[in-house]
Amino acid sequence: MKNKINIYLTEFSINSILRQKSKNIFIIFVFTTLIFLLSSVMFISGSIKSELNTLVDSLPQIIVQKLQAGRHSNIKSSSVDDILQIAGVTRAEARVWGYYYFKNAGVNFSVMGVDMFEPQLTTELEKIVDKVDFHQLEQNSSMIIGRGVKLTMVENYYSDYFNFIISDGSLKQVKIAGVFKSSTNLESNDMILLPKSIALEIFGMDESEATDIVVSVANPVEIPMIRAKLNLLFPDCRIVTNEDLKVSYQNIFDYKSGVFLALFIISLFTFFIIIYDKASGLSSSQKREIGILKAIGWKIDDILKEKFYEGFIISFTSFVLGILFSLFFVFFLQAPLLRDLFIGYSQLKPTFDLPYVMDYQTIFLLFFLTVPIYLSATIIPSWRAATLDADEVMR
């Protein structure tokens, strides 16, 4: 029964907290805000990162891009035949994609050309597109667009079709056949999907050219080998694998959370100043309190226990409150101001729901970074005072 919580001691610590109400309320406020801000940013970045990492696996494993004079340039679509000769390659496809700058709104649309006649594509599109007009699609002169694109086009009075300005200055009218479902908004917001022939026309590219080649590999163990073979086959090309993409994502989020962390250092300092203030010594009244407690017969053990309860009540309550608020802020309110940190500032902002991902590692990290430090800052000075003689402390 030795380790049982002493109710009288808890009662004493609550009274002790209430005696210094304003100071303790301030500590709880700073502590809660600190936990709230840190965990909010970590929740947002964790949520977006998990989204990226789950989706990168459904991409083709290797992308082959031609570089000319250090820049990306168009590759010959006939290179596909050479790539298919490599053992282990299940599929290689020349793609036509790029960006279309829409001057009126000042945004870049991503334009992707696909073969609209593949039967597999039709069934896939049925799943991800709202109200798709397949009749129009079959006429080969229409496109499927993302929600953000649709919104921008409607704002500029293009509700049924859009006029692309092609390289010779003439207009290419393309009808809108459907809009991607809002559940894919995070990925499809700026996307325009249209037949390959139209994409070639808009970009002013030749039939024999492609933007890049995607290569699917059945066995992931073979990817480095195939990459090496591709490097030998096309010395002028850059071979990007899924692993490279993951590294790139890691860098982005390290950076984005880092920017916030830099701003956050100020509040972290406030916290440490409070801790320092507490740890550097007790005020004379607090010291006298410890002395009186010793004089009336409290053991050092009891005093430390009481101080521990005091610190624990404050730090644990603030920690739980911080996590509670940040979960509410991020996943219920969808992080109103903070998520702009992770979004660009163009007009084509995606509206999306942050998927709920619980990163327990982060929570434990935050817990062990703050709560034990606070506890030690309360206990150590009281231990120093409590080990002295009662009359010496009171004097």
- Within residues 130-159, the interface with other proteins by CB under 8 A covers 146, 148
Task: Write out the binding residues for other proteins, residues 92-131 only, by CB under 8 A.
Answer: 95, 97, 99, 101, 107-110, 112, 114, 121, 124-125, 127-128
Which lies closer to other proteins via its Cβ, residue 59 or residue 84? 59
> Binding pattern to other proteins, positions 171-210, x when CB under 8 A?
---------xx-xxxxxxxxx-x-----------------
Q: How far is the CB of 115 from other proteins (least distance, A)?
A: 11
CB of 31 to other proteins, least distance (A): 14
Interface with other proteins, residue 11, by CB under 8 A: yes
Our finding on whether 60 is near other proteins (CB under 8 A) is yes
Q: How far is the CB of 387 from other proteins (least distance, A)?
A: 28
Taking CB under 8 A as the rule, does residue 35 contact other proteins? Answer: no
Minimum Å gap between C-beta 391 and other proteins is: 31
3-state SS of the chain? CCCCCCHHHHHHHHHHHHHCHHHHHHHHHHHHHHHHHHHHHHHHHHHHHHHHHHHHCCCCCEEEEEEECCEEECEECCHHHHHHCCCCEEEEEEEEEEEEEECCCCEEEEEEEECCCCHHHHHHHHHHEECCCHHHHHCCCEEEECHHHHHHHHHCCCCCEEEEECCCCCEEEEEEEEEECHHHHHHHCCEEEEEHHHHHHHHCCCCCEECEEEEEECCHHHHHHHHHHHHHHCCCEEEEEHHHHHHHHHHHHHHHHHHHHHHHHHHHHHHHHHHHHHHCCCCHHHHHHHHHHHHCCCCHHHHHHHHHHHHHHHHHHHHHHHHHHHHHHHHHCCCCCHHHHHCCCCCCCCCCCCCCCCCHHHHHHHHHHHHHHHHHHHHHHHHHHHCCCHHHHHC
Q: Does 218 bind other proteins (CB under 8 A)?
A: no
Residues between 246 and 305 that touch other proteins (CB under 8 A): 246-252, 255-256, 259
* Min CB(394)–other proteins separation in Å: 27
Q: Considering only 47-55, 168-176, 269-277, 299-307, which stretch makes contact with other proteins by CB under 8 A?
A: 47-55
Minimal distance in Å, beta carbon 123 to other proteins?
A: 9
Which of the stretches 27-35, 199-207, 291-299, 321-329 binds other proteins when contact is defined by CB under 8 A? 321-329
Assess 385 for contact with other proteins (CB under 8 A): no
Based on CB atoms, which residue is closest to other proteins, 158 or 331?
331
- Does position 10 interact with other proteins (CB under 8 A)? The reply is yes
Count of residues engaged in binding other proteins, rule: CB under 8 A: 91
